[in-house]
Structure 1
Amino acid sequence: MIDTTLTDRESYVVAALTGGWVADAASLGLHWLYDSQRICEVAGQSPEFLPPKADYFTGGFGYFAHDGKQSGDVSHYGAATGVLTGSLLANEGKLDIRDYQRCFRAFFGPGGDWRGYIDNPTRGTLNNLDTIEQNAIEKAQLTTTAKLTDRQKRVLVQKVLPYTRRLRGDQLADPVRKAISLTYQEPEIQEAGVHLAATIDHHLLPESGADDMQLPAVSKLAPLVACYCGSERLMEVAEAAVRVTNHNDEAVAWARCAARLLDYLFRGEPLSAALDAATREAPDPQHLNNARSGSALDAPGAGDTYGRTCYLHEAMPVIFHILNHAHGFTEAVRANIRCGGDSCGRAWIIGPAMAAIYGVGGERGIPLSWLARVTDAPDILMDIERLVKG
């Protein structure tokens, strides 16, 4: 029987992770509508949890990407966060790059569970994983000394790939040999297959991400930070995870900034200290400092100044502006939506940060009514609790 009782600190982190799911779902209806004035016309004072409709984008600049989604659903950012969460759960809270790649490919690739928008980093990552695997197969075949027919070579590849995608090292030989024995009883062919599997395994690369510096690099970080909170390995594992989907040095630098921010907040440090520490990791600290200046929350103005698109050098200053000036979860999420543009991507830093500060319920925490509106909320919360407890 699993002990599901949470300590005060664990409850605090559970609330923070929940904030990402709620903020993403709340933002979906107007995601990628770039016109703040149009957002006000459509949504008034309560822009959260609107059902995605193409009509909202009429009369304002934007891109309607979520046809078929319902109010309460999360974006592709949330789906990707769920993939990393699932991999962390399967590996007792440790980042296993090969398992993460396998889960990502299985979920977003052909035949996977995802039904919805596929962004450029995801598409590039799926293509790269295929290319990396094909290159590994070719290198393995070149070093195989057994005399095989072309048909035998094709069959061996088909036999070993299901195992190289989920096993590695010493785990491969026995199941690969048994799988091949169903078709070929000759020891030399079986050993050729074992060699093929081992060589493919050796040449699979951990850096499978697209050369991309957009928000998908940082949007999945919250569960990883929860698992490595306070650890000296946090920056190392954050970079490794980011390079699975965004193999880009600037993306990694911004991810270090975001991870440091969340790490401080998850450990209960003051917001000002968290923003300061995160700024020291940023590739453009001046814009972050500028975004924190002033006394009033003006998210549309921040969007005008720094940009509303998915690029991290635009999104991170807007995130810092909202975090520094909002006084509660609801205010921050509504400000993020009203800013326009990639609100769902920004939500995955704003939501966990504000929930870490203000928790769930009360005047400034995550509204309980919002939490209840998230699709599959019970299952999501169960996974979050298991991850944090583990």
Structure 2
Amino acid sequence: MSTLMTSADRFRRVNALAGGWVADAASLGLHWLYDSKRIEEIGGQSPEFLPPKADYYTGGFGYFAHEGKQIGDVSHYGAATGVLTKSLLANNGELNVRHYQRQFRQFFGPGGQWQGYIDNPTRLTLANLNDIEQNAIEQARSTTNARLTDQQQRILVQKVLPYTRYLSGDQLAAPVRKAISLTYQEPDIQDAGVHIAETIDQHLILESGADDMQLPAVSKLPPLVACYCGSDDLLKQTEMAARATNHNDDAVAWAKCAATLLDKLYQGQVMPVALEAATSLAPDPDSLIRARSGQGLDAVGAGDRHGRTCYLHEAMPVIFHILAHANSYTEAVRANILCGGDSCGRAWIIGPAMAAIHGVGGERGIPLSWLARVTNAAVITKNAEALIDCTQS
């Protein structure tokens, strides 16, 4: 949990969380357009908050993924960050990976709320969660001592699954037994059902993520860091959250790098100190040192040198270059968009980092007009404030 905050700490962290949402929404219109010249042709020097249009991607290399989205909407990165935020709120600011996995599956899976692009880590994580559950079911069925027919075993599994998907441990036995009693009154069959439920529960592993080293490992971190800011437990919790969607050692290392950066900024450290602390944890610190060097901001050049795709070894140096050289929130977000490629994914570190430094309003902070353009801005801000406050309750 977060250490004791001053009022300045609270405002800084709320502003930082808002900064992620604004930066993502501002970038959506030109997300995954890799041609910087084409981006400048469309948006000029103010490429933010353009409506997502397939026409933008003609005449320049890119991938149009956001059909049906409107100005102010966020990408799938923002949607995933929202899932973790709600899970943290439901658990009083503490990471409960099982709860997070359930919420992730419910939101992005069949019948869920999300309508939009599904990236590779999300798709594979959903498949892994299904496989983990199926393996747990097989383990439960193979260790049941009661003499049951195949039909009885299938029915028991069907009855217990709704409960194993939202309850754990001692919470399971009573409702599972009651549900089974609607069909089977025999105590031995009810006992078998409870055994199946408890065994499934015990075999639902926490490392459900894809073997993938792309930006979803770090883009969801701003609310988690806000909850564990200044805590010795931060890096452990970061790894657990990362492995839920990205079960890859390099992805975890980059996540710890990003979490350290945000942690220092959330505590009020200046940007150079935060960048230096984070660089020491990177899998490739030399790339970050090179990215931070030089005298001026050249995000397009950084993209040319390091890459513009979703992979963390490309994205993190570009992020560090922009943070090391941008002088305001607006300048950083625009530079990120003009760089091209996975601007929405990078926005979730750039936006919170710059907002933690420069706040909201004024010459260098989040423009109030930008904040007002984000879809459901009032709800987002309310949740950010509630999350920060619950870490102190």
The residue aligned with 1:126 is 126
User: For the residues of structure 2 that align with 1:75 and 1:30, how far apart are their CA atoms?
Assistant: 11
| Alpha-carbon shift at residue 7 of structure 1 (Å) | 2.4
The residue aligned with 1:7 is 7
User: For the residues of structure 1 that align with 2:270 and 2:335, how far apart are their CA atoms?
Assistant: 21
Q: Structure 1: which amino acid aligns with 2:8?
A: D
Runs of 4+ in structure 1 deviating by more than 2 angstroms, as ranges, are none
The residue aligned with 1:367 is 367
Per the alignment, in what secondary structure is the counterpart of residue 281 of structure 1? Answer: coil
User: For the residues of structure 2 that align with 1:178 and 1:8, how far apart are their CA atoms?
Assistant: 51
The residue aligned with 1:99 is 99
Per the alignment, in what secondary structure is the counterpart of residue 373 of structure 2? Answer: coil
Measured on the aligned residues, the alpha-carbon RMSD in Å equals 0.9
User: For the residues of structure 2 that align with 1:185 and 1:8, how far apart are their CA atoms?
Assistant: 60
Superimposed CA distance per residue, residues 18-44 of structure 1 (whole angstroms, 9 cap, x where no aligned partner): 000000000000000000000000111
Matches within 5 A, 1:299-314: 299-314=299-314
Matches within 5 A, 1:55-134: 55-134=55-134
Matches within 5 A, 1:181-260: 181-260=181-260
The residue aligned with 2:156 is 156
The residue aligned with 1:291 is 291
Superimposed CA distance per residue, residues 150-194 of structure 1 (whole angstroms, 9 cap, x where no aligned partner): 111111101111111111111111111011111111111100000
Does 1:138 pair with 2:138? yes
Q: Structure 2: which amino acid aligns with 1:315?
A: A
The residue aligned with 1:28 is 28
Q: Structure 2: which amino acid aligns with 1:366?
A: I
TM-score normalised over the length of structure 2? 0.97
User: For the residues of structure 2 that align with 1:101 and 1:223, how far apart are their CA atoms?
Assistant: 16
Q: Structure 2: which amino acid aligns with 1:84?
A: L
User: For the residues of structure 1 that align with 2:9 and 2:228, how far apart are their CA atoms?
Assistant: 14
User: For the residues of structure 1 that align with 2:164 and 2:352, how far apart are their CA atoms?
Assistant: 35
User: For the residues of structure 2 that align with 1:280 and 1:308, how far apart are their CA atoms?
Assistant: 23
User: For the residues of structure 1 that align with 2:281 and 2:257, how far apart are their CA atoms?
Assistant: 5
The residue aligned with 2:17 is 17
The residue aligned with 2:263 is 263
User: For the residues of structure 2 that align with 1:108 and 1:249, how far apart are their CA atoms?
Assistant: 24
User: For the residues of structure 2 that align with 1:270 and 1:132, how far apart are their CA atoms?
Assistant: 43
User: For the residues of structure 2 that align with 1:292 and 1:139, how far apart are their CA atoms?
Assistant: 51
The residue aligned with 1:3 is none
User: For the residues of structure 2 that align with 1:8 and 1:330, how far apart are their CA atoms?
Assistant: 22
The residue aligned with 2:3 is none
Superimposed CA distance per residue, residues 76-128 of structure 1 (whole angstroms, 9 cap, x where no aligned partner): 00000000000000000000010000000000000000000000000000000
The residue aligned with 1:272 is 272
User: For the residues of structure 1 that align with 2:253 and 2:8, how far apart are their CA atoms?
Assistant: 32
User: For the residues of structure 1 that align with 2:14 and 2:172, how far apart are their CA atoms?
Assistant: 37
